[in-house]
C-alpha cells in the first residue's frame, strides 16, 4: 500500500513537471520599454504698428488719441512657436467705456479684416491654412479706422480692442480646416 502511494506520488510529480514544461514552452514572457513623446502646441499673438519709416514695430498698449476719420495702424498675426502644425482662431472684441454714454454703434470702429486668409464663424476668425511650426499667419487686420459718422457718444470714451488667439493641433483631427477642428480651449 505504501508502495502504491509512493508510485502514485512519483507519477503525479512527473506529470506535474511535464505539464509545467509544456506550459513554459507555450507561454513566453518578455518586457518591452516604450518611450512616448508628445508635441508642443504653442503660439504667440503678434501686434505691430508702423513707425515713421513704414516699418513694423511692436505695438505699445499706450493710449492713442483719435477723432472721427482717423486710421490707426494695428497689425495682428499669430506665430506658431511650438513644434507641431496647428489650426488657429482669433477672438476680437471691442469695448467702449464712457462716463456719459452706455450705447455705442460699434460699426463706427472699422477693422480692415483679411477676408482672403481668414474666415469668420461663431464669433471667431479662423485662419484658412494649417500653420506649420515656426511660421506666421497672414495678418488678420492691419488698421483700425474711426468713422467720420462717429457721434458725440464717443467723446471722452476709452475704446479697447482686445485680441485673443487660440490653437489646436492638426494631428489626428481628420479635417483640413480650422472651422471643422475640435479641441479648442473653452
pTM: predicted TM-score of the whole model, two decimal places = 0.78
* Nearest-angstrom CA–CA distance, 164 and 101: 26
Please provide the size of the chain in residues.
186
Burial of 42 (0-12, 13-18, 19+ CB in 10 A): middle
* Nearest-angstrom CA–CA distance, 166 and 91: 8
Give the model's pLDDT for residue 137. Answer: 98
Contacts of 68 (CB under 8 A, 6+ apart): 146, 147, 148, 149, 150
CA distances from 54 to 16, 48, 131, 145 (A): 90, 11, 27, 18
Burial of 155 (0-12, 13-18, 19+ CB in 10 A): exposed
Task: Tell me how far apart the terminal alpha carbons of the chain are, to the nearest angstrom.
Answer: 81
- Architecture per CATH, domain 43-180, reads as Sandwich (2.60)
8 A C-beta contact, residue 79 and residue 143: no
pLDDT per residue, tens digit, the chain (186 aa), is 667 766 666 655 655 665 555 544 555 566 677 666 567 899 999 999 999 999 999 988 777 778 888 999 999 999 999 999 999 999 999 998 888 787 888 999 999 999 999 999 999 999 999 999 999 999 999 999 999 998 888 888 888 999 999 999 999 999 999 999 999 987
Give the model's pLDDT for residue 99. Answer: 81
* Nearest-angstrom CA–CA distance, 95 and 93: 7
Give the model's pLDDT for residue 150. Answer: 86
* Nearest-angstrom CA–CA distance, 64 and 85: 36
Domain ranges (residues) in the chain? 1-30, 43-180
Q: Which helix (H) or strand (E) holds 91?
A: strand 86-97
Amino acid at each position: 500500500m505504501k508502495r502504491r502511494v509512493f508510485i502514485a506520488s512519483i507519477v503525479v510529480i512527473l506529470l506535474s513537471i511535464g505539464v509545467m514544461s509544456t506550459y513554459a514552452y507555450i507561454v513566453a514572457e518578455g518586457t518591452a520599454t516604450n518611450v512616448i513623446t508628445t508635441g508642443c502646441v504653442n503660439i504667440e499673438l503678434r501686434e505691430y504698428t508702423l513707425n515713421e519709416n513704414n516699418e513694423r514695430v511692436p505695438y505699445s498698449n499706450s493710449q492713442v488719441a483719435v477723432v472721427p476719420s482717423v486710421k490707426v495702424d494695428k497689425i495682428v498675426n499669430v506665430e506658431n512657436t511650438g513644434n507641431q502644425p496647428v489650426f488657429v482662431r482669433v477672438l476680437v472684441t471691442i469695448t467702449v467705456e464712457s462716463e456719459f454714454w452706455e450705447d455705442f454703434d460699434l460699426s463706427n470702429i472699422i477693422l480692415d479684416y483679411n477676408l482672403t486668409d481668414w474666415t469668420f464663424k461663431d464669433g471667431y476668425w479662423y485662419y484658412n491654412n494649417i500653420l506649420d511650426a515656426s511660421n506666421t499667419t497672414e495678418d488678420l487686420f492691419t488698421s483700425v479706422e474711426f468713422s467720420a459718422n462717429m457721434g458725440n457718444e464717443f467723446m471722452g470714451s476709452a475704446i479697447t480692442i482686445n485680441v485673443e488667439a487660440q490653437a489646436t493641433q492638426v494631428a489626428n483631427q481628420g479635417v483640413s480646416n480650422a472651422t471643422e477642428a475640435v479641441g479648442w480651449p473653452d
